[in-house]
Amino acid sequence: MEKRYIQDRASLLADVAEMYYLEQKNQAEIAKAVGVTRSMISRMLTEARENGIVEIRIQRPLQSDPELEAALKEHFGLKDAFVVVTNHRSGERLKRTLGSAGAQALKRYLAPQKTLGLAWGTSISTTVDAFETSEPMPMKVVQLVGAMGAHNMEYDGHDLVARITEKLGGEAFYLNAPYLCQNAEMAKSLLETKSIRETINVGKKTDVALLGVGTTAPEYSSFYLAGYVTRRELDDLRKAGGVGDVCGLHFDINGQPACNDFCERLVSIRRPDLLSIPVRLGVAGGEGKAEAILGALRSKYINVLVIDSVTTRKLIDLAKSK
């Protein structure tokens, strides 16, 4: 009986939402048709949104800055650059804007039968959320970095691969292992197991990689703030000169590896294999990540960049001084 009530309620909420959003009826008209008060219709529309019956998506127009894009390509030798004009220096709005731009850029490089590799992180998550395709695009989608754990599944590589594979209608290859092991021996052992080795081999044949840029700055580090690495581990990376990472591969401000034994504990794509991927699309922004993005560009881990205008200006000034 309770299940039937829930179904009937959901159906009623859908009817109300269709009348309001699709048929353009006002709340008074809907109230009369349904036989309830206008205030109840208002509450039902709110309930429909909260229950996911109604999804509101705002398609914000994106404005690029060709002058900054040309400067980035010339200075760093990039294959391409997409600079989104925005006044946001950080926060959720900036992440969503970068995600929309990242999705548009990604579509330019995807084609049937290609292989797409994904790392993990908030910028990749917002890019996957914004990504849409009008028809199935059969291709392989591979996880490039091991699982981060249960802290936030939305940003984890496994979940991201599943979400975009469903949109593409492709075939998923998962890396069923932790991102960071207790020691190098454990990581080596995992990398030698058959299922993980198969996924790693698919990753080596990736045509397009969708990447984020991490930072070792404690106040901005997703690794540290989510509890994936300890403050001591973060401090050790910083002492080694590490300013940021791509796929867990840390580098200094000049783009040189700065991992010490940290990289040996990773279940992730290795440096030569990452650099062999033809299109390495990085989506990153926020003033707090300027040093990390500079290191990532100098390391050549990223050769196509999606970034915001505010961070780009800081990045170019930083590149001239360091």
Q: Give 2-50's CATH code, choosing from 3.40.50, 1.10.600, 1.10.10, 3.30.310.
A: 1.10.10
> How far is Cα 305 from Cα 289, in angstroms, rounded to an integer?
14
**Class assignment of domain 66-321?**
alpha beta
Grouping H, G, I as helix, E, B as strand and the rest as coil, residue 227 is: coil
Burial of 162 (0-12, 13-18, 19+ CB in 10 A): middle
Beta-strand (E) ranges in 77-126? Answer: 80-84, 115-118
Across the chain, where does the E strand assignment appear? Answer: 80-84, 115-118, 140-143, 171-173, 208-211, 214-215, 244-246, 249-251, 279-283, 304-308
204: confidence class by pLDDT, cuts 50, 70, 90: very high
Determine contact, residues 144/209, Cβ cutoff 8 Å: yes
Listing DSSP states for 236-298 in one string gives HHHHTT--EEETTEEE-TTS-B--TTTGGGB-B--HHHHHT-SEEEEE---GGGHHHHHHHHH
Mean pLDDT score, 69-98 = 90
Contact between residue 113 and residue 305 where contact means Cβ atoms under 8 Å apart:
no
Q: How confident is the model at residue 60 (pLDDT cuts 50, 70, 90)?
A: low
Tokens encoding 75? 């200075």
Average pLDDT over residues 281-301: 95
- Whole-structure pTM value: 0.81
All CATH 1.10.10 domain ranges in the chain, comma separated = 2-50
Per-residue pLDDT of 190-203, as tens digits, reads 999 999 999 999 99
Cα distance between residue 138 and residue 119, in whole Å: 20
The 10 Å Cβ neighbour count of residue 263 is 19
- What percent of the chain has a predicted confidence (pLDDT) above 70? 93
Q: Is the pLDDT of residue 161 over 60?
A: yes
State phi, psi for 100 to the nearest 5 degrees.
Answer: -65, -45
Which tokens is 247 given? 């796929």
Task: For residue 82, list its beta bridge partners.
Answer: 306
Residues of the chain with CATH 3.40.50.1360: 66-321
